């Protein structure tokens, strides 16, 4: 078994990037800190640091140990902060789990205005993590996260939907690619007409993704087929492939809203899209939510007014 003080010294040393900075922060001498780090390595039977030139780097085992130590001490810090009265708290962490089915850069665009808001009280820290819906539901129930952003409706006695937004799905194609395309396009251009005439292949999410399933259903409804040139289960990679001109694809407008505004991507289809892709904000069933969570709810709900 190891000494938790030694583990904390290791955590601080890894976080601050060296013994000198860590010793100064911990108010102990460098030789004493180095000695206690060696005791920890001996008790674990693993080398946690290695010298690269003048720098101290984490080994593979060190990276693993730091990941666990960071979780432990972050939770301890959150616990200590939670015991303070509202007037004593220096910061408030809002932990949001984002389904791996949802495009992540879009989430940064969604939350950035909240980060910039100037409000009285503790400083807000938005902490965003990504995983599968199942893992995030467990994390929500165990209070590891405060909110879940997903594209799947969740029906459960202990969870509730705080907001739901219908995002229009349109055909997205690189504006540069369209410049040489001899087809007159408008908001009323049908998907089948465009797909039939387009010389490019389809960029599409992989089969496990909900948006891919919706795309397949829609393609069947309009009786169209198109060769697939690129697929991925990372939504941001799908979007980037379209922006870079690898092909065209169906995406919710918010996923490429900035690129559309900059003229890098053209969104083809009616205002409401060829269909609507849902986004849900889920929380635990509790009677009261603080102002920060209410602000996130309003930000998600307000998205629906943009389209």
Instruction: Give residue-wise pLDDT tens across range 232-289.
Output: 999 999 999 999 999 999 999 999 999 999 999 999 998 899 999 999 999 998 756 7
- Do 19 and 34 contact (CB within 8 A), yes or no? yes
Distance between CA atoms of residues 114 and 42, nearest Å: 46
Can you read off the two tokens belonging to residue 96?
Answer: 């949001």
CATH for the stretch 167-277:
3.40.190.290
Question: Alpha-carbon distance 82 to 80, whole Å?
Answer: 5
Which DSSP state fits 248?
Answer: B
**DSSP line for 69-124:** HHHHHHHHHHHHHHTS-TTT--EEEEEEEEETTS-HHHHHHHHHHHHH---SSSEE
- Number of other CB atoms surrounding residue 215 within 10 Å: 21
The answer to whether the beta carbons of residues 251 and 224 sit under 8 Å apart is no
pLDDT in tens, 89-125: 556 788 999 999 999 888 888 888 888 877 666 778 8
Which of the residue ranges 8-17, 23-32, 47-56, 237-246 would you say has the lowest mean pLDDT? Answer: 47-56
Residues 6+ apart with CB under 8 A from 275: 169, 214, 218
Banded pLDDT at 169 (limits 50, 70, 90):
very high
pLDDT of the residue at 204: 97
**String of DSSP letters for 219-241:** HHHTT----EEEEES-HHHHHHH
What's the rounded Cα separation, in Å, for the pair 149 and 99? 6
Q: Which CATH class is domain 4-82?
A: mainly alpha
Percentage of residues in the chain having pLDDT higher than 70: 92
CATH topology of 91-165+278-306 equal to that of 167-277?
Answer: yes
- Judged against a pLDDT cut of 60, whether residue 87 lies above it is answered with no
Query: What burial class does residue 131 get, using C-beta atoms within 10 Å of its C-beta: 0-12 exposed, 13-18 middle, 19+ buried?
Result: middle
The full 3-state SS of 32-71, as one line of letters, equals HHHHHHHHHHHHHCCCCEEEECCEEEECHHHHHHHHHHHH
User: Residue 153 has what pLDDT?
Assistant: 92
pTM: 0.70
Where exactly are the structural domains of the chain?
4-82, 91-165+278-306, 167-277
Opening angle at CA 136, ends 259 and 93, nearest 5: 75
Which CATH code, of 1.10.3720.10, 2.60.40.1220, 3.40.190.10, 3.40.50.2300, is assigned to 91-165+278-306?
A: 3.40.190.10
Q: How many residues does the chain have?
A: 307
């Amino acid at each position: 078994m190891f000494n938790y003080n030694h583990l904390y010294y290791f955590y601080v040393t890894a976080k601050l990037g060296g013994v000198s900075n860590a010793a100064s922060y911990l108010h102990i001498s460098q030789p004493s800190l180095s000695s206690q780090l060696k005791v920890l390595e001996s008790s674990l039977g693993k080398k946690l640091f290695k010298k690269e030139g003048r720098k101290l780097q984490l080994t593979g085992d060190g990276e693993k140990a730091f990941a666990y130590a960071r979780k432990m001490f972050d939770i301890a810090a959150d616990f200590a902060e939670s015991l303070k009265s509202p007037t004593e708290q220096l910061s408030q962490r809002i932990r949001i789990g984002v389904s791996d089915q949802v495009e992540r850069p879009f989430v940064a665009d969604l939350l950035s205005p909240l980060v910039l808001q100037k409000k009285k009280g503790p400083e807000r820290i938005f902490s965003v993590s990504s995983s599968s819906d199942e893992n995030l539901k467990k994390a929500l129930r165990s209070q590891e996260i405060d909110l879940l952003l997903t594209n799947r409706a969740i029906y459960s006695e202990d969870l509730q939907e705080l907001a739901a937004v219908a995002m229009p799905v349109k055909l997205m194609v690189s504006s540069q690619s369209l410049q040489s395309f001899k087809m007159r396009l408008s908001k009323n251009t049908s998907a089948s007409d465009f797909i039939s005439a387009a010389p490019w292949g389809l960029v599409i999410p992989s089969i496990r993704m909900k948006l891919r399933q919706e795309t397949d259903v829609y393609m069947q409804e309009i009786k169209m087929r198109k060769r697939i040139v690129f697929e991925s289960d990372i939504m941001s990679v799908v979007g980037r492939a379209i922006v870079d001109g690898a092909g065209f694809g169906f995406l919710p407008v918010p996923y490429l809203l900035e690129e559309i505004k900059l003229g890098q991507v053209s969104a083809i289809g009616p205002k409401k899209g060829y269909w609507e892709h849902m986004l849900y904000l889920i929380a635990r069933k509790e009677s009261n939510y603080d102002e920060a969570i209410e602000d996130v709810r309003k930000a998600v709900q307000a998205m629906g007014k943009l389209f």
